[in-house]
Amino acid sequence: MININTKLSERIAKGIKRYQPVLAKAQAADINESDTVVIITDILCEVFGYDKYEEITSEYAIKKTYCDLAVKIDGRVKYLIECKAAGLDLKDDHIRQATNYSADSGIDWVVLTNGTKWKVYKIIFSKPVEKVLVYEFDFTELNAKRQTDLENVYYLCREACSPKSKATLDDLFEQKQVINRYIVGRILQSDPVVDSLRKAIRRLYPDVRVDVEELQRLLSNEILRREIIEGDAAEEAKKKIIKAEKGLAKQKSHSTTSATDEE
């Protein structure tokens, strides 16, 4: 949970109350993209806290073309924004141009929005360049009394982009890389967790014979969804866990060696 101070919380709450009806009206009227950009710019200023004249620009050139909007602090761009008309449903194809902008400029965060829907992407500079949807929210459904809603807005605020921030988009991305269904699904199938499950069952039912392999089959075939334990994402989760385990083993080995040297 992020500690969002009272002043920031009040600003976000006030912005939600003001712009929810504005966005609902804009969506119903199906206003064009240019007019939608005006609303998005106002939200960036009044809700997210950026200076309209110094920190929000539509004149950020990338290979002789311009992205819709760019948010920058101290002259450094923090993220690009691909804007669509208020009444247009957002699709993954809409982020393609902004992804190309990002790849060409080295900016690794892109936001796709029509004012109502906000989708936040992390750009991975691999070959080919990849985009990862980190999170999304609907501005018209935000509730300032819900901590999760406040945090969704916070990560796009100026405060989160400050060098002094202890909770940035990069921090959120790292957390999402670990706290997700594929990582958790893989951990649930690991020997230590299955063994703990076996012991818990034995404690409740001492007379029942519990086999570890049977529990693993039960988890894989009947409890966990197949999409969580199979496929590219599941394999990537497996690799991350193996890497983490190796790092932990190396750390323990180093600690043991250091303790032996001290003796």
Last residue in a domain, options 122, 139, 164: 164
- Total tally of structural domains belonging to the chain: 2
**Full domain range(s) for residue 144:** 6-164
Q: 164, 196, 230 — which closes off a domain?
A: 164
Instruction: Out of 130, 164, 198, pick the residue that ends a domain.
Output: 164
Q: Look up tokens 């939200």; give the residue.
A: 43
The DSSP code for 150 is H
Q: At what angle do helices 181-188 and 232-262 cross, to 10 degrees?
A: 60
pLDDT digits (tens, 9 = 90+) for 201-233: 989 999 988 888 889 889 888 888 887 888 877
Q: How far apart are CA 255 and CA 263, in angstroms?
A: 13
Is residue 133 domain-shared with residue 190, that is, in the same domain? no
Determine, yes or no, domain membership for 150.
yes
Model pTM score? 0.76
Task: Quick: pLDDT tens for 241-252.
Answer: 788 778 777 777
Query: CA 88 to CA 27: how far, in whole Å?
Result: 8
Is 169 domain-assigned? no
Q: What is the mean pLDDT of residues 185-209?
A: 89
* Residue at token pair 């496929």: 231
| Domain co-membership, 136 together with 96 | yes
Tokens of 211: 């086999």
Q: Each residue of 21-58: pLDDT tens digit?
A: 999 999 999 999 999 999 999 999 999 999 999 999 88
